[in-house]
Amino acid sequence: MFRFNGFFSGILQRTALLTAAFSGSLLVGCQSARQSAVVAPAAPPQVLLGSDPFSPLPDPVQAFRPITPEPVSVQHAVPPTVPRPQPETTSPLLQKKVDDLNGKVAELEKKLAEKDEELKLARLPIPIPDTPKPLPISPLPAPKAPLVLPTIDIKDVSSSADGENVRMQIPDTVLFLPGTMRLTPAGEDALRNIAAEIRTKYPNATLEIEGHTDSLRTDPTNATQKHEVASLKSQVVLQYFLQELQWKPEAVATSGYGSSRPIADDGTPEGRAQNNRIEIVVKEEGNREK
């Protein structure tokens, strides 16, 4: 009887403990569920009880585990796509401007393409021949022979080089009588000596007989007086070469320069005497040594 009462009181005690533990677990679960109701549903409480009803009861603190809510990933809501407003229909004037700009852009692109082609062509390698061609060597011109000057041993008669020509000067005081166009005996001798020197040293040369005067005019009204006098003097010498010295007509010519080519000061008697002269120019052909 005593044992039965003890067994029955043990069952009652265990039932009271189980009821208290179950009530506490329900209370804790309700509080946790209330806190995490928005996040996630609470897991059912797990009660660790002994399988043997007669085994000693565990510590109420260790018998039940706390319920920890599981973390819930919160995803941000994506705002809905708002359709972009469509542009209104462009006006004809604006469309024309756009077309003009497009045309200019196309033209610039065409020019850029042409420049690119030019640069590509410029970068092309230039073929270089393996062996350069020798440059043609032109022979050097033969040096000219020295100019031959005549040897005339006559007073006041001189000769000089004039480029490729030879120029001989004879004063009027040697050739002509004063105030006339007549040759003096000394003038005739001077012309014979000059002709012999030309025939010896310049057999193929041509001659030009030039007449020169000073600037003093005896007739102020005649502007061509000095040119006429110079031409007459050269004609007198030409006639002597043709008639007396048997010179070929095609090998001699005359010209009158008047006072246009002075060689001395016309303001002095000495200068005027030098300016009144005859000059015989031996032309280029045959003036050099062979």
pLDDT (tens digit, 9 = 90+) per residue, 233-256? Answer: 999 999 999 999 999 999 999 999
Residue 263 lies in a domain: yes
Residue 94 lies in a domain: no
User: Do residue 162 and residue 278 come from a single domain?
Assistant: yes
User: Do residue 162 and residue 275 come from a single domain?
Assistant: yes
Task: Report pLDDT for 221.
Answer: 81
Task: Report pLDDT for 47.
Answer: 46
Average pLDDT on 194-215 reads 90
State pLDDT tens for residues 129-185.
Answer: 667 677 777 777 777 666 667 666 777 788 888 888 889 999 999 999 998 999 999
DSSP string, 182-237: PBPHHHHHHHHHHHHHHHHH-TT--EEEEEE--S--S-TT-TTHHHHHHHHHHHHH
Short-list 188, 238, 190, 185, CA closest to 210: 238
Which range is least confidently modeled, 47-51, 111-115, 211-215, 232-236? 47-51
Distance CA 165, CA 160 (A): 9
CB atoms < 10 A from the CB of 86, how many? 6
| Domain-terminating residue out of 63, 84, 105 | 63
Average pLDDT on 188-203 reads 89
Distance CA 10, CA 56 (A): 11
Model confidence, pTM: 0.50
Average pLDDT on 42-65 reads 50
Which range is least confidently modeled, 50-64, 77-91, 121-135, 275-289? 50-64
Residue 68 lies in a domain: no
- Contact present, 257 and 227 (Cβ < 8 Å): yes
The top-scoring range by mean pLDDT among 15-29, 46-60, 75-89, 147-161 is 147-161
What average pLDDT is seen over the chain?
A: 76
User: Do residue 272 and residue 162 come from a single domain?
Assistant: yes
Residue 200 lies in a domain: yes
The confidence band for 264, taking pLDDT boundaries of 50, 70 and 90, is very high
Domain hosting residue 50, numbered range: 2-63
Strand, coil or helix: 147: strand
Residue with the larger pLDDT of the pair 55 and 217: 217
| Domain-terminating residue out of 41, 63, 85 | 63
Residue 274 lies in a domain: yes
User: Do residue 55 and residue 163 come from a single domain?
Assistant: no
Q: Which helix (H) or strand (E) holds 12?
A: helix 2-35
Task: Find the CATH number of the domain harbouring 231.
Answer: 3.30.1330.60
Task: Report pLDDT for 110.
Answer: 87
Residue 143 lies in a domain: no
Phi/psi-derived region of residue 208, left when phi > 0, alpha when psi is between -120 and 50, beta in every other case:
beta
Task: Report pLDDT for 154.
Answer: 73
Residue 101 lies in a domain: no
Residue 96 lies in a domain: no
The number of distinct structural domains making up the chain is 2
The top-scoring range by mean pLDDT among 121-130, 145-154, 213-222 is 213-222
User: Do residue 54 and residue 164 come from a single domain?
Assistant: no
Distances (CA, A) of 57 to 54, 172, 176: 9, 174, 179
